[in-house]
């Protein structure tokens, strides 16, 4: 425990001398003078923090009146990070997590280009994104017809059964690795309720997704039910493209502070979302 504490304190010392942002006389945030040039170069190479916001996950992000009025814990974290860096933030909106990952390869002048993103940790993504520890934990589960014989998540992985998913979502990537018998059927687009529409239209056996939006849908449709168990724990984290070590290290410390101070819990509450704040790393 002593060794871990020393490592954490040393890491923090690499990037900032204070965990609290300095304030100008008028109370507006200004850059902490101890943030290194390497951190700024990694996280805001254009002088602006470009933050990818995935509106396909309503637990973490909700649309505002316009793109730069994004709501939710992801947007709040991005704004707080920009304050710490002393730079403006611009939100780059996406309708699905898979689209955020695809934009990683966008050229520098592409409006989809981002510096930080809020995605679930997955091995395929981690090859190209340096993730922090998770800040929020949510569940991946199934929704089925009320009269379906499928009762538990383990019942779904059987020969001949078909499951709809959003393409390149965290649960699509996970189920692609783990299902042995059931067939995945991917919606044309990710995010929103596309996989639910596919499930209904093609009369599939189950639809996979994040628990909260599935439960929201089932509340309005008595012919549907959401299973009580989960097939995966979805670990939502911040990330920056691989090859930006100073920025990645700063994000690790930033996320741990945001969890410890209650910032993440408060942001979830403000946006009306219920989710589990991830434990300290």
Per-residue model confidence (pLDDT) at position 263: 98
- Identify whether residues 224 and 269 lie together within a single domain: no
Res. 253: pLDDT tops 90: yes
- Identify whether residues 204 and 185 lie together within a single domain: yes
Res. 26: pLDDT tops 50: no
- Identify whether residues 118 and 143 lie together within a single domain: no
- Identify whether residues 262 and 129 lie together within a single domain: yes
DSSP-derived 3-state class of residue 137: strand
Res. 252: pLDDT tops 50: yes
Residue 145 has what DSSP assignment?
E
- Identify whether residues 82 and 220 lie together within a single domain: no
- Identify whether residues 37 and 109 lie together within a single domain: yes
- Identify whether residues 165 and 210 lie together within a single domain: yes
- Reported for 172-177, long-range contacts at CB under 8 A and 24+ positions apart, including other chains, are 172/98, 172/208, 173/122, 173/123, 173/124, 173/125, 174/122, 174/140, 174/231, 174/232, 175/208, 175/231
Res. 18: pLDDT tops 80: no
- Identify whether residues 222 and 247 lie together within a single domain: no
The total number of structural domains in the chain stands at 2
- Region 41-49: what's the mean pLDDT? 98
pTM as predicted: 0.84
Provide the CATH number for the domain around residue 56. Answer: 3.40.190.10
Residue 48: pLDDT band with limits 50, 70, 90: very high
- Identify whether residues 102 and 144 lie together within a single domain: no
- Identify whether residues 50 and 72 lie together within a single domain: yes
- Identify whether residues 105 and 219 lie together within a single domain: no
Helix or strand run (H / E) with residue 163: strand 162-165
Residue 30: pLDDT band with limits 50, 70, 90: low
Task: Using the Cα atoms of residue 206, residue 188, residue 242 and residue 85 in order, give the sign of their dihedral.
Answer: negative
- Identify whether residues 147 and 132 lie together within a single domain: no
Give the structural domain span for 58.
2-136+235-277
């Amino acid at each position: 425990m002593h060794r871990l504490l020393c490592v954490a304190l040393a890491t923090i010392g690499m990037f900032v001398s204070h965990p609290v942002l300095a304030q100008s006389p008028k109370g507006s945030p200004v850059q902490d003078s101890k943030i290194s040039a390497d951190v700024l170069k990694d996280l805001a190479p254009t002088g602006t923090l470009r933050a990818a916001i995935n509106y396909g996950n309503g637990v973490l992000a909700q649309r505002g009146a316009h793109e730069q009025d994004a709501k939710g814990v992801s947007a709040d974290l991005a704004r707080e990070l920009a304050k710490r860096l002393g730079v403006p933030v611009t939100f780059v909106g996406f309708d699905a997590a898979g689209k955020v990952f695809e934009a990683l390869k966008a050229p520098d002048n592409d409006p989809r280009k981002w510096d930080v993103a809020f995605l679930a940790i997955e091995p395929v993504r981690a090859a190209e994104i340096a993730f922090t520890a998770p800040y929020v934990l949510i569940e991946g589960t199934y929704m089925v017809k009320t009269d379906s014989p499928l009762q538990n998540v383990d019942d779904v992985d059987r020969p001949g059964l078909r499951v709809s998913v959003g393409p390149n979502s965290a649960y699509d990537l996970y189920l692609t690795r783990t299902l042995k018998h059931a067939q995945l059927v991917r919606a044309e687009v990710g995010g929103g309720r596309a996989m639910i529409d596919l499930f209904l239209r093609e009369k599939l056996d189950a639809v996979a997704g994040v628990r909260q939006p599935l439960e929201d849908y089932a509340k309005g449709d008595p012919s549907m039910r959401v299973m009580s168990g989960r097939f995966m724990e979805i670990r939502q984290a911040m990330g920056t493209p691989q090859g930006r070590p100073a920025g990645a290290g700063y994000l690790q410390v930033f996320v741990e502070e945001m969890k410890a101070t209650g910032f993440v819990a408060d942001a979830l509450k403000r946006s009306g979302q219920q989710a589990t704040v991830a434990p300290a790393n």
